[in-house]
């Protein structure tokens, strides 16, 4: 049994999922037992529950982190900073080393920014037109609706016999 578990661990999470699905297809309690084992053993954990993230990483994630060091983390933090400070532009243009490509990229980005502005104004006009038509329909429906009849009150002027 431990040999099969070790072999499935070598193939990773997709192999465990395939075995679980096969267990459900053959006899559902077997699939349920495999699912419970996967959850109990931590083979299906997706997040970091502990303080040290490196303990919860898979083997390939650890190899990636060892090979590239903290370059990936620095790039991710730079992207997060740019997203946080995003003001509608495309940010500073970095040189690729090819002047013709840089000029083309800059012209394309400017064209895309202009198209985005035009599209946003079109959407604003479209929303305003839709709101106006809905409001006009509401007002015309309200005008065409018959006025509510005044409730009839019994005549108190007539003497009662």
Q: What pLDDT score was predicted for residue 110?
A: 93
What is the CB neighbour count within 10 angstroms for residue 20?
20
Cα-to-chain-centroid distance, residue 64: 26
Q: What pLDDT score was predicted for residue 40?
A: 82
Q: What pLDDT score was predicted for residue 126?
A: 94
For the CA atoms of 90, 95, 101, 106, the dihedral, rounded to the nearest 10 degrees, stands at 30
- Sign of the Cα pseudo-torsion (20, 23, 28, 31, in order): negative
Please answer whether residues 54 and 26 qualify as being in contact, where contact means their C-beta atoms are separated by less than 8 angstroms. Answer: no
CA angle 115, 117, 122 (to 5 degrees): 90
Residue 42 phi, psi dihedral angles, 5° rounding: 85, 10
- Give me the average pLDDT of each 10-residue run along the chain (161 residues): 80 85 89 84 60 52 65 69 56 72 92 94 93 92 79 63 59
Q: What pLDDT score was predicted for residue 143?
A: 87
Please answer whether residues 106 and 96 qualify as being in contact, where contact means their C-beta atoms are separated by less than 8 angstroms. Answer: no
Crossing angle of the two packed helices 59-68 and 71-84, in degrees rounded to 10: 90
CA-CA distance, 25 to 48, in Å (whole number)?
A: 31
Question: Domain extents for the chain?
Answer: 1-44, 101-144
Please answer whether residues 104 and 110 qualify as being in contact, where contact means their C-beta atoms are separated by less than 8 angstroms. Answer: no
């Amino acid at each position: 049994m431990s040999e099969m578990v070790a072999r499935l661990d070598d193939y990773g999470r997709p192999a465990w999922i395939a075995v679980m699905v096969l267990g459900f297809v053959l006899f559902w309690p077997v699939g349920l037992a495999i699912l419970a084992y996967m959850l109990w053993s931590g083979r299906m954990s997706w997040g970091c529950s502990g303080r040290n993230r490196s303990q919860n990483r898979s083997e390939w994630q650890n190899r990636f982190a060892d090979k590239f060091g903290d370059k990936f983390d620095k790039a991710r933090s730079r992207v997060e900073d740019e997203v946080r400070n995003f003001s509608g532009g495309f940010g500073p243009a970095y040189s690729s080393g090819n002047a013709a490509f840089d000029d083309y990229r800059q012209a394309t980005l400017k064209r895309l920014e202009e198209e985005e502005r035009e599209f946003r104004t079109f959407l604003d006009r479209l929303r305003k037109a839709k709101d106006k038509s809905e409001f006009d329909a509401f007002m015309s429906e309200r005008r065409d609706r018959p006025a509510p009849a005044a409730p009839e009150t019994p005549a108190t002027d007539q003497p009662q016999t």
